[in-house]
Amino acid sequence: MLKLKQVAVGAAALGLASLAATPAFAQNKQITLCWAAWDPANALVELSKDFTAKSGIQMKFEFVPWPNFADRMLNELNSKGKLCDLLIGDSQWIGGSAENGHYVKLNDFFDKNGIKMTDFAPATVYAYSTWPKGSPNYWALPAMGDANGWVYRKDWFAKPELKAEFKKKYSRDLAPPKTWTELKQVAEFFQGREIDGKKVYGAAIFTERGSEGITMGVTGALYAWGFQYDDPKKPYHMEGFVNSKDAVAALEFYKSLYKCCTPPGYTNAYMQEGLDAFKSGQAAMMMNWFAFFPGLYKDEKVGGEHIGFFVNPGQKVEASTLGGQGISVVSYSANKDAALQYIKWFAQPDVQKKWWSLGGYSCHKAVLGDPNFPKTAPFAADFLKAMNGVKDFWQEPAYAQLLQAMQKRVHDYVVADKGTAKEALDLLVKDWEKVFKEEGKL
């Protein structure tokens, strides 16, 4: 998440200080941008040097490791702190941040400065910017497109002896899976096998309990089975949807994949644990966010010709768990004008193109709509496909309680072996109904 600082008293009268502001005008100005500590943040630091060169406004960055990011930043917002001027916050925070007054509403600013939300991928505008969902009320600019995807050891898949053995067993080629059923077959094939003198495992998936990890993993399967959070005709009514037969089947499948085919001791794993397993040569496949793929491709040991990528497999439908964030101006900032100046600069097509080239994931159609985009990186085509079929967790103001409930229920079932999938989802419906009743929505 990002917070912004004021540029000048006269900027408000002008709507926005000009990007051509001279260093002499802005040389003493500094704004702080807050986000998670990961590879894309490093790319944004590099990109933002151009903003400082053009505006004279200095950039300061507050990057927090992912395990602590939500607690740190939500506490900052709830306490009306002034640490951040700009905040790149998770999509799930948009409802609460809008309703609680944490973010500046950007509609008038966008209108005055010719920033059109139609220039950004519709799924990212819906997920990262709007509240109420789908309304023309914008609280962020789409900043970092992301979805849950997969990487695999392309060099292992290409070994002639493994290809022959797999084809004999499954009557199909050893290739990136197109369904979760195929994914499990591949994972089982590699599980416990010795490759290059080392024991390897089938798949590194999300199982983490403390923040959001296992929910982000499980939903990758749930969405592929056609999962819906509530009745499309009756919002917040979840019975028969959250705990449908297909949802139960998806959760059972995820548990079976965890039990059969993950590295040993993999009971509380999320982004970093998956990266560690893959980079150390333990896993044939790994679930993780597209945001990490540029860095993985550059890795000396497992990148380059060793690595391949594929979109989240389908089952009954094709869908991917949404990641990514929008960039917002924090309402408690004393530097809103300068922060808005950054938003205007960041929204430019040329800046968005450079953002992609540095390892960030642009949401701008000038980037994603370029006919050559799928060829710009080995994972670009899969990213584009994923973003056309993303689904997100609840973005309600009470999302934290909703998330905690799901984390508990699915972890208890998948990892801790408590009860059945149906019981877990039935309990989750009751948990969520309680939250929405307290919110006055049921």
- Candidates 392, 432, 389, 395; CA nearest to 410 is 432
The answer on pLDDT for 18 being more than 60 is no
Average pLDDT over residues 400-412: 97
Residues 103 and 208 in one domain: no
The answer on pLDDT for 325 being more than 80 is yes
User: Which residue type is seen at 30?
Assistant: Q
Average pLDDT over residues 110-128: 97
Average pLDDT over residues 155-161: 98
In a domain, 93, yes or no: yes
Residue 56 to residue 7: CA distance in whole angstroms: 10
Q: What is the reported pTM?
A: 0.92
Question: Who has greater pLDDT, 27 or 9?
Answer: 27
User: CATH number for the domain including 262?
Assistant: 3.40.190.10
Residue 24 to residue 420: CA distance in whole angstroms: 66
Q: Calculate Rg over the CA atoms of the chain.
A: 22
Strands (DSSP E) found in 53-117: 58-64, 86-90
Residues 176 and 316 in one domain: yes
Residue 1 to residue 71: CA distance in whole angstroms: 12
Q: Annotate 294-356 with DSSP letters as a single string.
A: HHHHH-TTTSGGGEEEEPPPBSSS--EEB--EEEEEBTT-S-HHHHHHHHHHHTSHHHHHHHH
In a domain, 437, yes or no: no
Question: Who has greater pLDDT, 425 or 9?
Answer: 425
Residues 334 and 348 in one domain: yes
In a domain, 427, yes or no: no
Average pLDDT over residues 215-220: 98
Range of the domain at 192: 148-321
Residues 178 and 315 in one domain: yes
The answer on pLDDT for 10 being more than 80 is no
Tens digit of pLDDT for each residue in 98-111?
Answer: 999 999 999 999 99
Tens digit of pLDDT for each residue in 73-99?
Answer: 999 999 999 999 999 999 999 999 999
pLDDT of amino acid 19: 41
Which of 373, 391, 409 finishes a domain?
A: 391
User: Which residue type is seen at 105?
Assistant: K
In a domain, 414, yes or no: no
Residues 247 and 369 in one domain: no
Residues 112 and 155 in one domain: no
Q: Give yes or no for a contact between 32 and 60, defined as CB atoms under 8 angstroms apart.
A: yes
pLDDT of amino acid 309: 98
User: Which residue type is seen at 223?
Assistant: Y
Scored b (16 or more CB within 10 A) or e, 147-181 reads: bbbbbbbbebbeeeebeeebeeeeeeebebbeebe
pLDDT of amino acid 304: 98
In a domain, 420, yes or no: no
Structure confidence at residue 28 as a pLDDT band (50, 70, 90): confident
Which of 264, 288, 321 finishes a domain?
A: 321
Q: How far is CA 109 from CA 16, 34, 39, 364, in A?
A: 8, 21, 30, 18
Residues paired with 322 in a beta bridge = 147
Other beta carbons within 10 angstroms of residue 369's beta carbon come to 11
Residue 22 to residue 236: CA distance in whole angstroms: 51
Domains contained in the chain, number: 2
Residues 76 and 157 in one domain: no
Query: If you ran DSSP here, which 8-state letter would residue 290 be given?
Result: G
Sheet bearing 30-36, strands edge to edge: 58-64, 30-36, 86-90, 325-329, 141-144
Residues 19 and 162 in one domain: no
- Candidates 97, 92, 69; CA nearest to 270 is 69
Residues 66 and 140 in one domain: yes
Residues 55 and 83 in one domain: yes
Residues 121 and 184 in one domain: no
Tens digit of pLDDT for each residue in 238-252?
Answer: 999 999 999 999 999
What phi and psi values does residue 312 have, to the nearest 5 degrees?
Answer: -55, 125
In a domain, 405, yes or no: no
Tens digit of pLDDT for each residue in 35-75?
Answer: 999 999 999 999 999 999 999 999 999 999 999 999 999 99
The answer on pLDDT for 177 being more than 70 is yes
CA angle centred on 141, ends 138 and 115, rounded to 5°: 85
pLDDT of amino acid 419: 98
Residues paired with 330 in a beta bridge = 103
Which of 279, 297, 321 finishes a domain?
A: 321
In the chain, the percentage of residues whose pLDDT exceeds 90 is 93
pLDDT of amino acid 27: 56
What mean pLDDT value characterizes the chain?
94
The answer on pLDDT for 13 being more than 90 is no
Residues 263 and 328 in one domain: no
In a domain, 185, yes or no: yes
In a domain, 182, yes or no: yes
The answer on pLDDT for 17 being more than 90 is no
Residue 396 to residue 133: CA distance in whole angstroms: 9
